[in-house]
Amino acid sequence: MTDTLQELKQKIKARIQDAKKHGVDDRTIVEGIVNLADVAFTYEEAESREEALIKEMWGIANDQEKRVLAGIVKRLGEQA
């Protein structure tokens, strides 16, 4: 079953809150998001054209751009 966008944001929020509760700083959380996305985009197939676009964008992004995107994901989760 595919999560709705709101469910996904809630899951991200819960993981961020858990990490912070255990003393993980923001920079490490962002690096974790980058690493998770690297693995996901390497081994998972896109199931829609939107996912394919995001996967392609991630593939051409440099390290700084990936950190920016991961920071946006983090902020999105914090605002959920």
Residues 13-68 have pLDDT tens digits of 999 999 999 999 999 999 999 999 999 999 999 999 999 999 999 999 999 999 99
Q: For residue 17, tell me if it sits in a domain.
A: no
Where in the sequence is the domain holding 41, given as residue range(s)? 30-80
- Kindly state whether residue 44 falls inside one of the protein's structural domains: yes
Q: What is the number of domains present in the chain?
A: 1
Q: Rounded to whole angstroms, how far apart are CA atoms 21 and 15?
A: 10
Q: Which residues contact 10 (CB under 8 A, 6 or more apart)?
A: 80
3-class secondary structure, 71 = helix
Q: What's the whole-model pTM score?
A: 0.86
Q: Does the residue 4 lie in any domain?
A: no
Strands (E), 1-80: none
In a domain, 10, yes or no: no
